[in-house]
Structure 1
């Protein structure tokens, strides 16, 4: 679990939710959840998931009210789990359990999965706007201030790539770009495959954002190939576009450079038995690979110009 919450304390909190009060239930911990303790709750009337959070996520700039509002919006869009209850005083967001299979990175190589993921993203992006905006450039800057002010460990040479990061920001800037409601953290485990449909879960980092950030982040965080990224972008837009493909690839680098600092903060502050440093370095290496890659300048040019 991601923070200290005993079983007796958990059950006391669950008893204070009207839909669960006084009901017999089976509670099972779910895997994952680096900033939550997630439990599956089975009753005779329904099956639920309680996302239980503490105050340890403050350094990571997670706003639980935003998460609740955006989870409701994702439900309304038809791609998010039903929201049953929200008790910020208890640190609990209660949602309906989705009958499906959470994906793994390897699942994206299966026929049709990338196309289904693109449909899920388009559905979310076409739904009600979220309560807040998400900008990785701003978040990276805020995370860096936290890392430096707390003296957390930073990868060697991290700041040497600040110029390249800024050049991506300049290339992506465009007055006509519109933001859409994005999850912004679509790790494989946040895709739930239910027959022909994919649901999207976990809206901790959600916010209105450029859709190409969503696509680029999916590419990098799930270890997809460049061919798979092109398949994802093509499925999302309905055509192959060099401009959007470049933007998505650059946004993938933006995500990795920014999430590196998330790992640094967790490495310096979390009590979880998890190797956050290795997690951070994996993302840092991804970013450096692109910063130093032979395509970097061309990608900047392609992002600036239309097809």
Structure 2
């Protein structure tokens, strides 16, 4: 769909939403890999993308989005329709949509992201969905089996090697808390004083260390940025097991999102080169899993006591 057609769709959608129906000003296309997102005055309009209904629970998303706003982490929700997936939130004025480059250049951004995660995880919010890594991998593999798309060479071998991760995490679980679970840089809006988090499609009750590990990957954090985020989150030094979980999830998020990329490829999503996206994520996962750092992280989790995490 051309940008002109996207804007036309947005204007037609605006007419059907009482809150926005009187808007006669500009409609600006914003980012989004799978959805169509627009600025409409002081509001942000989201129209779900093609094929997202195959793997997104819209009721969970709406509940999570409202809970995140209540927790002070996400913008206020002003209109939501779970049946269509269309919703409207408050536009964050003075905010910058983050990228890996901006996380490097804006002072304190990794720390503010860590603090936002801490606020979310400590909020007591309860999301309907549970984000369970290996169940999602199985679900995505089942969906891919119905489509004409090939897994990267060696995916099955790496998935088999990840059984040691499954065993360690199962033996030493952390309490599940409300998590974002899909911390792309573009899902963070920084005002310089506060970090807001948007797009709660994949949110669920999860191990909180997932959010930290995944953002480190998505943001292409170096060791200094990662440490800034971690120390801001914990308010001090984490345990070896907590650090270990973050490292493990840096690999596991790539293992999972490789499959997500293949689903986008099969659904003809034009937003990116999803073949390269999937192959690159898988290569990064495989590389990290082959390091001594990963082995030490796995050992730290596997030998941890309940008081360590």
Matched ranges for 1:88-103 at <5 A: 88-99=82-93, 100-103=95-98
Aligned Cα RMSD in Å? 2.1
1:207 alignment partner in structure 2: 204
Task: Tell me, in whole angstroms, the C-alpha distance in 2 between the residues paired with 1:84 and 1:242.
Answer: 42
How far apart in 2 are the matches of 1:102 and 1:296?
A: 31
TM-score, length of structure 2 as denominator length: 0.90
2:140 maps to: 143
- In structure 1, list runs of 5 or more residues that go unmatched: none
Q: Determine if the alignment matches structure 1 residue 155 to structure 2 residue 149.
A: no
2:52 is the counterpart of 1:57: yes
CA contact (8 A) 1:2 1:272 kept: no
Q: Relative to structure 1, is the Cα distance of residues 11 and 112 closer, same or farther in structure 2, using a 3 angstrom cutoff?
A: closer
Find the counterpart in structure 1 of residue 116 from structure 2.
120
1:198-255 C-alpha deviation (Å, 9 max, x unpaired) = 1111111111111100011011121112443333223212222211011111011111
Distance 1:8 1:112 in 2: 38
For normalisation by structure 1, the TM-score amounts to: 0.91
Relative to structure 1, the CA distance from residue 5 to residue 206 in structure 2 (aligned partners, 3 Å threshold; closer, same or farther) is farther
Alpha-carbon spacing, 1:107–1:10, altered in 2? closer, same or farther (3 Å): closer
- Change over 3 Å in CA distance of 1:93–1:283 after alignment to 2: same
1:34 aligns with 2:33: yes
Aligned length in residues? 301
After superposition, the Cα gap between the structure-2 partners of 1:24 and 1:117, relative to the gap in structure 1 and judged at 3 Å, is same
Which residue number in structure 2 is paired with residue 106 of structure 1?
A: 101
Q: Given the superposition, is the C-alpha separation of residues 230 and 172 from structure 1 closer, same or farther in structure 2, using an over 3 Å criterion?
A: farther
Q: 1:220 & 1:7 partners in 2: Cα distance? A: 32
Flag the 1:169–1:179 CA change in 2: closer, same or farther, 3 A.
Answer: same
Measure the CA separation in 1 of the matches of 2:231 and 2:96.
25
Q: Deviations over 1:123-162 (max 9, x none)?
A: 1112222121111211111111222232312111111112
Alpha-carbon distance change, 290 to 3 in structure 1, aligned in 2, over 3 angstroms: farther
Aligned to 1:282, the other structure's residue is in SS state: helix
Map 1:11-30 onto structure 2 (within 5 A).
11-30=11-30
8 Å contact kept, 2:73–2:195: yes
Q: Deviations over 1:94-114 (max 9, x none)?
A: 111011111221233343222
SS at match of 1:173: helix
Cα distance in 1 for partners of 2:275, 2:254 equals 14
Q: Distance in 2 between matches of 1:230 and 1:169?
A: 25
Per-residue CA deviations over 1:32-85 (Å, capped at 9, x if unaligned) read: x1221111101xxxx1111001451133x1112211110000000001011000
Distance in structure 2 (CA, Å) of the matches to 1:176 and 1:266: 31
